[in-house]
Amino acid sequence: MTRLLAIGTEKGLFLATHDGGGWDVQPLQFNVKSVYAVAIDTRGGTPRILVGASSAHWGPSVAISSDLGKTWEEPDDPAITFPDDTGAAVENVWQLTPGPADRPEVVYAGTQPSALFRSDDGGRSFSLVRGLWDHPHRTTWEPGGGGQAIHTILPDPRDDARMVVAMSTGGVYRTTDGGTNWAPGNAGIKAVHVPDPFPEYGQCVHKVARDGADPDRFYAQVHHGVYRSDDGAASWESIAEPLPGDFGFPIVAHPSRPGTIWNFPMIADMDRYPADHRCRVYRSRDAGSSWEALENGLPATPFYPSVLRDAMCVDGGDPAGVYFGAKSGEVFASLDEGDSWETVAAHLPAVLCVRAAVI
């Protein structure tokens, strides 16, 4: 079994593999480009890596490798562009998400400014999903600290017409008709940055994950709040109480086991450090009713860096591999679902995203 880990950083991409021994981290690629989005697409016979890389000078681009990163394909024309009539331009690609298993040509992209794009040619070209762009709420969505972007795209594994997306700020939106109509799905999520604590939309949702076994169950890490939805991301209840902090960015779900999730709690938005200044991942095996701290193999000294929203992931293994990277450039892996951890890499640029797969 080989595990492939893609690490997107503020200044380039690193690929690492694990064949049963240690981790082999390959040299830097995408020199000085911010890699906010990576997808490892295992739906076809040969794994493909899709990268959303952005140069401060030369703009965003999407590149695809079909040989595990040895070579990259980038179309001459930009893969993702807004139509002329929108007057908008892609600032960054925040998310690349493979579509349903039986539609290997379908890939979704989330961008800054907040928009959803769909590709029907494996990620070589994308079209704007008009229904979300034309939503009457869009002009009132506000940028969070990282920008105003669609950072979460969760296609329904049962039905290509159903999908959940999320953004900061704006919150959660759902479609059941292939993207023509979208409804906000934020009931129960508290907003701490506006006078109304429970608005219909506008919440600062940092990341959403879908349960690996129950497609109608979701988990959300919010700007002060951790929540679970049991009704398809329509309404939410808090699962933050047992945690040492309700602030944080990532939340990920086990690829197949119900109710198993991980996050990285921080103290508060005005005190943005890991809870208790310790490097600890928290895991729940009962859908958020109880949590346990995981720190075996993680740094024991005080730890201050953030772990960003896409800088934690799981692979499809059993047991699942769990991975996270910090803004300090350290990357950690657990091949036993969080019971023990090892350092994959250190001294990298700030880690923006990680994605992993068993290949």
Partner 1 sequence: MGAVILLPGVLRADAGDEARLSVAAPGTVRDVLAEIADRWPRLAKRLRDEQGGLRRYVNLYVDGEECRRMSGLETPVPDGAEIQIIPSVAGG
Where does this chain touch partner 1 (CB under 8 A) — which range of 83-91, 203-211, 260-268, 332-340?
83-91
Tell me how many helices (H) and strands (E) the chain has.
Answer: 1, 29
Size of the site for partner 1 (CB under 8 A): 18
Cβ(22)–Cβ(3) below 8 Å: no
* Shortest distance, position 244 Cβ to partner 1, whole Å: 32
Binders of partner 1 among residues 2 to 61 (CB under 8 A) are 32, 55-59, 61
* Shortest distance, position 308 Cβ to partner 1, whole Å: 17
Closest to partner 1 by CB, 83 or 302: 83
Q: What b/e sequence results for 122-155 when a residue is b if at least 16 CB atoms lie within 10 Å of its CB, and e otherwise? A: bbbbbebbebbbebeebeebeebebbbbbbbbbb
Closest to partner 1 by CB, 62 or 209: 62
Is the Cα dihedral 306, 204, 285, 215 positive or negative?
Answer: negative
Among 27, 84, 196, 347, binds partner 1 (CB under 8 A): 84
Q: In this structure, what token pair is assigned to residue 59?
A: 């703009």
Residue linked to tokens 């929108």: 86
* Shortest distance, position 92 Cβ to partner 1, whole Å: 12
Cβ(218)–Cβ(229) below 8 Å: yes
Write out the H or E segment, with its range, that includes residue 131: helix 130-133
* Shortest distance, position 175 Cβ to partner 1, whole Å: 25
Cβ(332)–Cβ(340) below 8 Å: no
Closest to partner 1 by CB, 84 or 102: 84
Where does this chain touch partner 1 (CB under 8 A) — which range of 41-49, 84-92, 130-138, 306-314?
84-92
The amino acid sitting at 84 is: D
Does position 82 interact with partner 1 (CB under 8 A)? The reply is: yes
Does position 87 interact with partner 1 (CB under 8 A)? The reply is: yes
Residue 271 burial by CB count (10 A; 0-12/13-18/19+): exposed, middle or buried? Answer: exposed
Does position 88 interact with partner 1 (CB under 8 A)? The reply is: yes
Q: CA 91, 126, 165, 220: dihedral to nearest 10 degrees?
A: -70
Q: Annotate each residue in 99-138 with x if it binds partner 1 (CB under 8 A) or - if it does not, as one string.
A: ----------------------------------------
Closest to partner 1 by CB, 49 or 79: 79
Residues in the site for partner 1, rule: CB under 8 A?
Answer: 32, 55-59, 61, 74, 76-78, 81-82, 84, 87-90
